[in-house]
Amino acid sequence: MSILLIHTTLLASLEELLFRSYLPKVLSSALNTQWLAILFTSLVFAVVHLPGKQMNSTGDWWTMGYLIAIGFFLCLLAEASSGIEFGLGIHTANNFGWLALNGVGLTSGPTSELPDVGPWSIISPFVAIFIFIFYSRRKRDEIQI
């Protein structure tokens, strides 16, 4: 279990460094727009996860929408907080949630299958984005996007 904790945290750290720190900065400089860079990075983040277990287990495209939405939210969070710490915590917790729902996959038998994830998987990150934007507008002096 400790190996799983280290692996999941390390993988989330690397993804956060690449998709929330490096790529958005490089792309926003190249494209001269931060929003396009965030959107493109979110799409690339989702595509990278296509061969992953989460896509194979659900067999639907709701998961793809979820990955794009959560990638977008984590990019906004990284930009607003000027760091990846919050996103790293959310990303690691999200990975553990997937592992808890879908099984670790360390056994030789089949892991549990998730039912169809459905529209809530896409709606929930956008609810988080809405709350985040609402809160950040109230605290405009403290948080700048």
pLDDT digits (tens, 9 = 90+) for 114-137: 455 566 666 777 677 777 777 766
Q: Flag whether pLDDT at 65 surpasses 60.
A: yes
Cβ neighbour number for residue 56 with a 10 Å cutoff: 12
Give me the mean pLDDT over the 7-16 stretch: 87
**Residue 38: per-residue pLDDT:** 93
Q: Flag whether pLDDT at 97 surpasses 90.
A: no
* Structural domain boundaries in the chain: 2-138
Total-model pTM: 0.69
Percentage of the chain beyond pLDDT 70 is 67
**Residue 53: per-residue pLDDT:** 55
Across the chain, what does the average pLDDT equal? 76
Q: Are the beta carbons of 102 and 112 closer than 8 angstroms?
A: yes
pLDDT digits (tens, 9 = 90+) for 24-51: 999 999 999 999 999 999 999 988 887 6
**Residue 117: per-residue pLDDT:** 57
